[in-house]
Structure 1
Amino acid sequence: MIPGRDSLKTKKTLTVGSSKYAYYSLKEAAKQIGDISRLPFSLKVLLENLLRFEDDRSVTIDDIKAFADWLGKGKSTREIAYRPARVLMQDFTGVPAVVDLAAMRDAMKTLGEDPEKINPLAPVDLVIDHSVMVDYFGGENAFKKNVDREYERNGERYKFLKWGQGAFDNFRVVPPGTGICHQVNLEYLAQTVWTADVKGETFAYPDTLVGTDSHTTMVNGLSVLGWGVGGIEAEAAMLGQPVSMLIPEVIGFKLTGKLPEGATATDLVLVIVEMLRKKGVVGKFVEFYGPGLDHLALEDQATIANMAPEYGATCGFFPVDDETLRYLKATGRDDDRVALVEAYAKEQGMWREKDTPDPVFTDTLELELSSVVPSLAGPKRPQDRIALDRAPQGFAESLNTEYGKIDEAGTRFPVKGEDFDLGHGDVTIAAITSCTNTSNPSVLIAAGLVARNARAKGLAVKPWVKTSLAPGSQVVTDYLDAAGLSDDLDSLGFNLVGYGCTTCIGNSGPLPEPISNAVQENDLAVASVLSGNRNFEGRISQDVRANYLASPPLVVAYAIAGSMNVNLTTDSLGKDADGNDVYLKDIWPSNKEIADVVREHVTAQMFASRYADVFKGDEKWQAIDAGDGQTYQWPASTYVANPPYFDGMTKEPKAVEPIDGARVLALFGDSITTDHISPAGSIKEDGPAGEFLKSHQVPVAEFNSYGSRRGNHDVMMRGTFANIRIKNQMLPGTEGGVTKYNGEEMPIYDAAMKYKKDGAPLVVFAGDQYGTGSSRDWAAKGTILLGVRAVVAGSFERIHRSNLIGMGVLPLQFKEGESWAALGLTGDEEIDIPNIDKIEPRSNVTMTVKFANGDVKNIEVLVRIDTADELDYYRHGGILHYVIRNLAA
C-alpha cells in the first residue's frame, strides 16, 4: 500500500483503544466533492481506494469527483484504476499463474534484466483446494485414500507451488486438505478492515481483493469487496498494475421479512439467481439492503454473495453491521481487529444504520423472504430454478426437450452384476460439496439432522447413488462431530471424502464401473444432485447429463429417493420398521432445531484451533523437497512446462498486424461457457490431449483432470474447445470439439495446427453470453495458442472478455439484431479485419466476409476493448508482455 498525493487533504487519524491508525476520510472528501452519504456502500469502498492512491496519473482528482456525479445519474462512463489490497488464488488457476510468474522471470533474464523484478507487490494467498477427487466414497477410510491419491497425482504441481512459496516474496500457500479457498478466506484470511505499516505509520483501509476463482465474491458477505478475475488479471494486480474498470452501475436488492419454516439459504439464493438473471446485471455491482438483512446470518449472506457469478454480477455486496462483528468474533478474530472494524466503518459512513435513508442505486428490485420455497436449479444452468414440488415435472420436460428420451420414461435397464436396475432420472451422484453451502453451518447441520432422522426411521440411500461430503473447512467436521451428526451422515454413505472443491468443479471421480457401463450402454439421462453453484452440462461427470443444485439437506433426501422422478413433497421416501410410509416432512428438522444445534456446537475455539497453524500442512506436504533458486529449473513434466508466450519477445512492442484471410474455426450458439471452451474435468482418452499424454507414456488411469494440468500448455491447448457437450454449428448435429478443415471433419486442435502451418489466422464466432462461468484463464490462453486472433460474439461475460484482451485476442461484438447466423455463415468463409492498429476503446471496425461462392459482405462490429489500459495490453500482445516491458524499462 503506497499512500497517494492526497490533494484533498483527507488523511486523518483514528484512535481505537490504545492504537492509532492513519486513514483517508470520506467525510473530509465530501466537504470538497459534495455529499456522498447515500453512495452505495460498495462504491464508498472504491472511492476510498482512489483517495488513497491518487497520483495525478492513474488516479486523478476528476476520477474522485466522478463519484459525486454518479449519485446524480446512477451510472458513469468514468474509467478508474482500482488497486485491491490482496490477491487470492486456488491451485487450478494458481498453478498457471505461478507458471507465468516463473516464465516472466525467464523472459526478464532473456531481455538482460534482473529476474527478481518479477515479484508480487500485493500479498498473495494460494489455497490448494481443487485437486482432491472423489475416487473413494462411502467408507470410513475414504478421506485418507483420496488424500493419498491426490498426492500421487499432483506431486509435480505441489513441488512447483512449494518452490514458488520460497522463491517469491509476498506469496503464501495453504497446503492441501485444509479447505476451499473461499471458506478459508471467509473464516480466516479476510479482516473486513485491512492494515499496513508504511513509513512508521499504521494505515487502516477496507479489505479488498481479486481472486482467480469467480466465487471470490463469497467474502462480500463479510463486507469485503472482491470478485473473480482471470489468472492473467490477477498476475497484473500482484505486480502492481491497477484493475482498470468503469465506475459500475449498482443494482440495489431490497430484502424484507424473514425466511419461512422449511426454507434454507440455498433456496433463497436460487430465487435470487433467477431474479437477477432475468433483471440482467452482467458487469454491474449488486448490493443488498433492507430490513430483511436483520434476519439473515452472515453465513447466509455469504451464501448469497458466493453465487454472484451465477446471477452474472461482478459482486454481491453486504454492508458492515452488527452481524459482521458477531461473525468476526465467532470465527476467532482478534478483539482489536473487531473493534477497529466497528470504529472504522462508523467513522467512514460504511456502517449499515437501520433508520437512515437507503443508498441511491442505479436500479432496484425487491424480495419478500417469506415467499421463498424449497427449490432446485437445473438441469444445466444455475438460474433455471424449479420449485421442489415441480421437480419431477421439470425433469420430464428436460427428458423430452433436452435428451429426446420421453418415450423411455419409466423404463428400467439392468445393471450387470448388480441386483438393481437403472432408469432415466435416477440420481447417480448426491454430493454435499462446494463453497456455496459448506460455509454455512445451518444447512450442514440441517443435512446432518435429516440423516439422523432418516437413520432413525430405517431409511437408506439407493445403491446406485454415489454419495460424498466435501466440507469447505476442517471446522465443519469439528462441529458435525460435536453435534454427533457425523455418524448419522456416515450411516447414509455421506462420509468425509476431502476438504476441497470436488463435485462442483468436475472432480466427482468415476461412477462405479457397472453403473457407468449401464449408463453408456443404454444412453441413460441420469442425474446428479449437489449443493454446489455450477451445474453446466458436461461439468459434473461425463456419465451424468442432468445436474441439479440443491441445499445439503435436499441432497441427502434425493440420495434416499434415488430419482428425480420422485416428488419429495408428496411421495414416500420409503417405509419404517413398522411398514409405515416415511415422507420428507417426517425427517425434516424445524428452523429452531437447526438454530439450537448451531448455537450449541459451533464455537470460536474451533476456528482458532484449526487456523492456528494453517500454513504448516500435513506430513506429506512437509516432506516435499522443492529446491530453491530464483528461476525455476523446468523438469520434463506433463504437469508443469515453460509456456511459449514470450518466445521472440522484444523490449518494444511491434505494430498490431491486420487480420487478413482468416479462417473460421467454429460457429457457436448462445451461452458458451468457459467450461465449454476450456473444460476442467476428465480428459478423454481418444482426444488430442489424451493422445498427447499417451505419447508421453502417461497411462489413462493417471490422466488426472484438465484442471490439474493447467500448468502444461501442451495439454491445455489440446483441451481448448474440447468439452464433450460443445456444439460447433459448422457441423450441425455433432457434439464435442470438432470442426472442418478444407471440408474434412477433425478435432479443433488438429485443424488449428494445420491452419497454423498454412499461415492462416483464425476467428471464432459465437452468440450471446460468450464466456459465462468460472474465471478460467486457459479459455483465453488456449484460444491464442490455437492461433485465434479474434472472437466475434453477440455479447461477452466480463471476466472472459478481459482475459481475451489479456492474451492479445481481439473481442468484437455484433451490433443489435446482427449475428453470424443472420450473415448466413457456414464456416467456409474467409474473414478480413483491417486497420486494427488504429482501434480505440469501444470504437467500430469493419469486418469483411468473403463467401465461398465469391460474394462479399462488409459488417460493422463493436470493439469490446473498453478502456485505455485494455488497449495498451492488447497492443503489447497481452498484459504480461506489458508488465514485463514496463519493469524492464
Structure 2
Amino acid sequence: MSTESTPDTLQTFEAAGTTYHYYSLPKAAEALGDIDRLPMTLKILLENQLRFADNPSVAREDMQSLVDWQQDASSDHEIGYRPARVLMQDFTGVPGVVDLASMRAAVESLGEDPSRINPLSPVDLVIDHSVMVDKFGNPTAFRDNVAIEMERNRERYEFLRWGQQAFDNFRVVPPGTGICHQVNLEYLGKTVWTKEEDGKTFAYPDTLVGTDSHTTMINGLGVLGWGVGGIEAEAAMLGQPVSMLIPEVVGFKLTGKLREGITATDLVLTVTQMLRERGVVGKFVEFYGDGLADLPLADRATIANMAPEYGATCGFFPVDDETLNYLRLTGREDAQVELVEAYCKAQGLWREPGHEPIFSDTLHLDMDEVESSLAGPKRPQDRVALKDMPTAFAKVMEDDGKPLSATEKGRLFSEGGQTAVGVEESYEHHDSQEVDMEGEAFRLDPGAVVIAAITSCTNTSNPSVMMAAGLLARNALARGLKTKPWVKTSLAPGSKVVTDYLAAGGVQNDLNELGFNLVGYGCTTCIGNSGPLPEAIEKAVEEGDLTVASVLSGNRNFEGRVHPLVKTNWLASPPLVVAYALAGNVRKDIANDPLGTGDDGQPVYLKDIWPSQAEIAEAVEKVKTEMFRKEYAEVFDGDDVWKAIDVPESQVYQWSDDSTYIQHPPFFEGMGREPAATEDVEGAHILALLGDSVTTDHISPAGAIKPDSPAGRYLQERGVKPVDFNSYGSRRGNHEIMMRGTFANVRIRNEMLDGVVGGETRHVPSGEQMSIYDAAMKYQQEGTPLVVIAGKEYGTGSSRDWAAKGTRLLGVRAVLAESFERIHRSNLIGMGVVPLQFTEGDTRETLGLIGDERISISGLSELTPGGKVEVTIASPKGEKRIEALCRIDTANELEYYLHGGILHYVLRKMIGAA
C-alpha cells in the first residue's frame, strides 16, 4: 500500500481516538469527475483502484472508466480487483488446500523453496458442509451426528489441521461451530477493514471473494463480496487480481413494509423471481429506496444470500444506521462501529434518504404486495404462492406422466393427503404405499413430505423467522397437533447463537417436541447432507415410484440435490417448514384447509397457530449481544476431539497412497517453467449433449455416492463399505473419486441417449452405452479429445471448482453452450478448458446434433478476448462450419488459458517463470 498512488487522494480522519489514513473518493472526484450518483458498489471498486494505483495492473484509465460509467450506465472496460480477504468452506476449501499443497510439491520439484507458496491475503476456512443428518428427532442427535462426522472425516480434518499450521494467513473454524456465511455475518465481517503499514493505520472497505456462491450474504452488511470458484479464490489469495469487466448495476428499489404474517423468506423468493425474470446474470444488484429504513439487517442478509439464485454477481445493501445497530448487537467493539460510520460518511458510502444513484436498469417492489410463498419443485426462482401449492404439485405429476385421478384432485385431505390403512378404501391410491414403521401403520401418498428441514444460511441467520418457527411449534402443540410419522425433521442452525436465543425465547423445547431437535451446525439438507430416510420410507418410495417432497428453509432445490429419492423440493420459511411437517403433504392446501384436528376434535388452521408480528418481535428481543460474544470468544479453538488431532509439522504435505479422501492431483505433472503451445482441437467426440439449465450439481454432485456408480466401485475396491462412503462433497480432496463423479448426477439427461436419466453416454466408435467416466477413459486411451455441447445457462448454481476440474481430467477441451453462468465459465478457463458460445441463432437443436458428430475447433492459438473461432462439425452427412464466440472475456483470462490454467500461471509467476 503506497502513499504515492494517485496524488492528492491520501487523506486522514479520526475515529475512536485513532488516526486513520484512507484513499479519498471525494478527492479523486476532483480529478476524475463527479461520482455522487455512482452506485455504491462501483465506488467500492473505484476505491480499490485508487489504493492499488501504484501496481502495474492498475492504470488511471481504469479509474476514469469507473467514473465515466455514469454516462451510459455500462462499460466494456476490464479492471483488476483485489479483495481484502478470502472465505472458504470445507467442501471447496479442502481441494483448495490440496491445490496449495500440490503447488508446493511442484515448486519443490522445480528446485525452488516451497514456502514461497503461501496465502498473501487473509483466508478463513469454516468447516460447515460435512455434518450429515444421520440421527434426528431425539435429544442426542447433535452429539451423535458430530461423533459420526469426526469419524468419517478424520483424514480430511487431519489435512486441514496440517494446512492450519503449514500456511501463513490461514485460519480454520472447526466443525460444530456454524455455517461460514453466518459466521462471516456475525463475526468475521467488519464492513471497514484496516491494515498497519509503514507506521500508519489504513482504513478501506471490507471486501472478499468466497469459494461458496452464497458468499453474497455478507452484502447485507455493506461488505462487497461474491462467490468465485476455488481456483479463482486460490489465485486471489496468492496475490492475483480478480479480472473483471466493469459490471452493469441493476437498482432494486424497495418501498413499503411487509404485511402481517409475511416473512423475509417470502420477500426473498419474490425478489428472486423478479430478478431472474429480468435477467441479471453477471451484473451487480444494488438495493435502494426508503423501504430500507425499516428492513432489518437480517432480512437484508437473507436477500443478499440468494444472489446466485437470482443470477447476480452480488446483491448489495449500503451502510446505514441499521448496519451499525447490527454490528453493535453482534458484539463488534464500539471503536469498530465508530470507524464504520466515520469512514463511510467520509467516503460517500453512507445511505442517505431519497438518494437514487444512476443504474443500468431498475426494478421496484412495494413490500406490502408480497404474499406467502414457496419455490420449487427444482429451481429456486420458481416461486409458488402458498395457496397454489396443490396445483403446482399436480402439474409436476402431469409432467412426469403420472396425473392424479379426479378423486384425488377433488379430495380434501383432512390428514394432509394421508389416510390410515383400511380407511376410505374408495379413495384411489393408484401408486400409494402402505407402510408399517415401528408399529405405526399409515399410507404414503404422492406429495408426502418426507423431509422437513430448518436448514441453510439463508434463513437460520434470521432471528425473526427462526423465532416464528419456534412460536408456531408452541402454538401447534397447545392445540394438540403433532408431526406426521413419515416426516424426517431436523434443525441445523448457522451458529450456536441461534441455539442460545431459541432457548432464551423458550421455544427450543417446543421444536424438540415436534422432532425439530438440533442435528448439527452446518448446511446439512440444503447441500445434500440430508442423510438416509427411514428404511421403511425409502422402501415405500422406491417400490411405489412415489413422487414425494422435501420442504426446507434453504436456497437450493436442484434435481438430485436434497435426496436422490425425493423428486420435488420446496424452499420455504422456517415456520412453513414446521407447518408442512404437521400437514404431511404438499398437496394439502394449508392456506385454506385445516392442518389437522386438535385435542378438542376441532379443525386447526394455519392462521390459528401463526404467530403475530408483535409476538415475533417480543421473542426477537431475547437476542442479546452477550450471546454473540460468548459463542465467538473461542471460535477457532474447537472441541477436545479437534484439538487432539495430531498432524506433522512440515512445509510439504506427505501424501498417502492409501487415503481415500486426500490424493495428490495430477494437474502439475510434467509442468515446465514455460507453457506449451496451445493446440487446436481436431476430431473431438461429444462426451455429452445436454439441455438448458444444467447446473454444477448435475456436473459435480455433492450428495450421496451410489454403490454401483464408478465412484462407488472405486471405494469398494479399496475396502470402503457403502455405509462409509460419505458424500461427494466430502471426497473432493481425491481427484479419482471426483473424476468418476463428474456428470454422474442421477437426474442428468444426456440427449445422446433416449429416455435414459443419469450419468451415461454412448461411446460412439463402439456404439456401446456406458458411464460418462468410463467412456471418457476409453476415449483417452484412444487419444481422442472431447467436447461437451449444451443449451442455455450452463453451469448454473454453486461455485464448484470440481465441475471444471473434473471436466478437464475427463479430457474435455471445450464446452460449447448457448450461454454460461458466470462462475462456471470462469472456472473452466481456470482449468484450461475453453468456453465457447453459439452465435447467429445456432444451437444444438437447429444444427440437428445427435452426438455422433466429430468436432474440430480452429484458431485457439490466436485467441483474443471475446473473439470468434471456427467450429467444424463433421458427420456422415457432411460438414458444417459455424462461428462460435470465445467466452474468454478479458486479457487476464486469456493469459490463464494459454498457461493451461490459472494456477499454472500463478505458480510460474511466483517462481519468476511467467
When the two structures are superposed, what TM-score results if normalisation uses the length of structure 2?
Answer: 0.96
Taking the aligned partners of 1:395 and 1:671, their CA distance within structure 2 comes to 21
- Residue pairs, 1:116-195, within 5 angstroms: 116-195=115-194
Taking the aligned partners of 1:688 and 1:406, their CA distance within structure 2 comes to 37
Taking the aligned partners of 1:477 and 1:372, their CA distance within structure 2 comes to 29
- Residue pairs, 1:709-720, within 5 angstroms: 709-720=731-742
User: Which residue number in structure 2 is paired with residue 548 of structure 1?
Assistant: 570
Q: 1:628 Cα shift? A: 1.1
Taking the aligned partners of 1:26 and 1:403, their CA distance within structure 2 comes to 60
Q: Where do 4+ consecutive residues of structure 1 move more than 4 Å? A: 407-410
Contact 1:653 1:875 in 2 (8 A): yes
Contact 1:8 1:32 in 2 (8 A): no
Q: 1:57 Cα shift? A: 2.0
User: Which residue number in structure 2 is paired with residue 692 of structure 1?
Assistant: 714
For structure 1, the 5+ residue unaligned runs are none
User: Which residue number in structure 2 is paired with residue 826 of structure 1?
Assistant: 850
User: Which residue number in structure 1 is paired with residue 435 of structure 2?
Assistant: 415
SS at match of 1:420: strand
Q: Do structure 1's residue 523 and structure 2's residue 545 form an aligned pair?
A: yes
C-alpha distance after superposition, 1:438-479 (max 9, x if no partner): 000000000000000001111000000000000000000000
Q: Do structure 1's residue 886 and structure 2's residue 906 form an aligned pair?
A: no
C-alpha distance after superposition, 1:691-728 (max 9, x if no partner): 00011110010000000000000000000000000000
1:129 counterpart letter in structure 2: D
User: Which residue number in structure 2 is paired with residue 363 of structure 1?
Assistant: 361
The structure 1 residue matched to 2:392, chosen from 391, 394, 406, is 394
SS at match of 2:678: coil
Q: Do structure 1's residue 813 and structure 2's residue 833 form an aligned pair?
A: no
User: Which residue number in structure 1 is paired with residue 314 of structure 2?
Assistant: 315
Distance 1:49 1:4, change over 3 A: farther
1:95 counterpart letter in structure 2: V
SS at match of 2:846: helix
Q: Do structure 1's residue 448 and structure 2's residue 470 form an aligned pair?
A: yes
User: Which residue number in structure 1 is paired with residue 697 of structure 2?
Assistant: 675
Taking the aligned partners of 2:874 and 2:527, their CA distance within structure 1 comes to 41
Q: 1:840 Cα shift? A: 0.4
SS at match of 2:851: coil
The structure 2 residue matched to 1:774, chosen from 774, 787, 798, is 798
Q: Do structure 1's residue 763 and structure 2's residue 787 form an aligned pair?
A: yes
Taking the aligned partners of 2:54 and 2:867, their CA distance within structure 1 comes to 28
Contact 2:873 2:880 in 1 (8 A): yes
Contact 1:739 1:747 in 2 (8 A): yes
- Residue pairs, 1:98-113, within 5 angstroms: 98-113=97-112
Taking the aligned partners of 1:7 and 1:279, their CA distance within structure 2 comes to 38
Q: 1:402 Cα shift? A: 3.7
Contact 2:3 2:10 in 1 (8 A): no
Contact 1:4 1:55 in 2 (8 A): no
Taking the aligned partners of 1:4 and 1:125, their CA distance within structure 2 comes to 28
Contact 1:4 1:53 in 2 (8 A): no
User: Which residue number in structure 2 is paired with residue 478 of structure 1?
Assistant: 500
Contact 1:71 1:360 in 2 (8 A): yes
Contact 2:856 2:873 in 1 (8 A): yes
User: Which residue number in structure 2 is paired with residue 802 of structure 1?
Assistant: 826
Q: 1:416 Cα shift? A: 4.5
- Residue pairs, 1:193-208, within 5 angstroms: 193-208=192-207
Taking the aligned partners of 1:854 and 1:655, their CA distance within structure 2 comes to 33
C-alpha distance after superposition, 1:125-148 (max 9, x if no partner): 000000000000000000000000
1:868 counterpart letter in structure 2: A
The structure 2 residue matched to 1:783, chosen from 804, 807, 810, is 807
1:399 counterpart letter in structure 2: M
Q: Do structure 1's residue 463 and structure 2's residue 462 form an aligned pair?
A: no
SS at match of 2:845: helix
C-alpha distance after superposition, 1:483-513 (max 9, x if no partner): 1101000000000000000000000000000
C-alpha distance after superposition, 1:802-860 (max 9, x if no partner): 00000000000001421011111111111111221001001000100110x14000000
User: Which residue number in structure 2 is paired with residue 876 of structure 1?
Assistant: 899
Taking the aligned partners of 1:526 and 1:228, their CA distance within structure 2 comes to 32
Taking the aligned partners of 1:633 and 1:504, their CA distance within structure 2 comes to 34
Taking the aligned partners of 1:732 and 1:37, their CA distance within structure 2 comes to 58
User: Which residue number in structure 1 is paired with residue 645 of structure 2?
Assistant: 624
Q: 1:56 Cα shift? A: 5.6
Taking the aligned partners of 2:96 and 2:16, their CA distance within structure 1 comes to 41
User: Which residue number in structure 1 is paired with residue 596 of structure 2?
Assistant: 574
- Residue pairs, 1:833-848, within 5 angstroms: 833-848=857-872
Taking the aligned partners of 1:824 and 1:407, their CA distance within structure 2 comes to 38
For structure 2, the 5+ residue unaligned runs are 409-427
User: Which residue number in structure 1 is paired with residue 334 of structure 2?
Assistant: 335
Contact 1:4 1:54 in 2 (8 A): no
SS at match of 1:472: coil
SS at match of 1:391: helix
Taking the aligned partners of 1:817 and 1:437, their CA distance within structure 2 comes to 41
User: Which residue number in structure 2 is paired with residue 864 of structure 1?
Assistant: 887
Q: Do structure 1's residue 612 and structure 2's residue 633 form an aligned pair?
A: yes
1:559 counterpart letter in structure 2: A
Taking the aligned partners of 2:707 and 2:310, their CA distance within structure 1 comes to 35
User: Which residue number in structure 1 is paired with residue 620 of structure 2?
Assistant: 598
Q: 1:625 Cα shift? A: 0.4
User: Which residue number in structure 1 is paired with residue 418 of structure 2?
Assistant: none
User: Which residue number in structure 2 is paired with residue 239 of structure 1?
Assistant: 238
Contact 2:221 2:297 in 1 (8 A): yes
Taking the aligned partners of 1:298 and 1:150, their CA distance within structure 2 comes to 32
User: Which residue number in structure 2 is paired with residue 752 of structure 1?
Assistant: 776
Taking the aligned partners of 1:159 and 1:782, their CA distance within structure 2 comes to 24
- Residue pairs, 1:230-379, within 5 angstroms: 230-355=229-354, 357-379=355-377
Taking the aligned partners of 1:793 and 1:233, their CA distance within structure 2 comes to 22
- Residue pairs, 1:623-642, within 5 angstroms: 623-635=644-656, 636-642=658-664
Taking the aligned partners of 2:128 and 2:797, their CA distance within structure 1 comes to 19
Using the TM superposition, name which of 357-366 and 160-169 deviates more.
Answer: 357-366
Taking the aligned partners of 1:403 and 1:162, their CA distance within structure 2 comes to 51
User: Which residue number in structure 2 is paired with residue 82 of structure 1?
Assistant: 81
Taking the aligned partners of 1:630 and 1:14, their CA distance within structure 2 comes to 42
When the two structures are superposed, what TM-score results if normalisation uses the length of structure 1?
Answer: 0.99
The structure 2 residue matched to 1:438, chosen from 454, 460, 474, is 460
Taking the aligned partners of 1:821 and 1:650, their CA distance within structure 2 comes to 42
Q: How many equivalent pairs are there?
A: 885
2:475 counterpart letter in structure 1: N
Contact 2:2 2:54 in 1 (8 A): no
Taking the aligned partners of 2:405 and 2:819, their CA distance within structure 1 comes to 37
Identity of aligned residues (%): 65
Taking the aligned partners of 1:744 and 1:378, their CA distance within structure 2 comes to 36
Taking the aligned partners of 1:641 and 1:115, their CA distance within structure 2 comes to 18
Contact 1:403 1:525 in 2 (8 A): no
1:290 counterpart letter in structure 2: G
Taking the aligned partners of 2:888 and 2:2, their CA distance within structure 1 comes to 30
Taking the aligned partners of 2:451 and 2:890, their CA distance within structure 1 comes to 44
Q: 1:350 Cα shift? A: 0.3
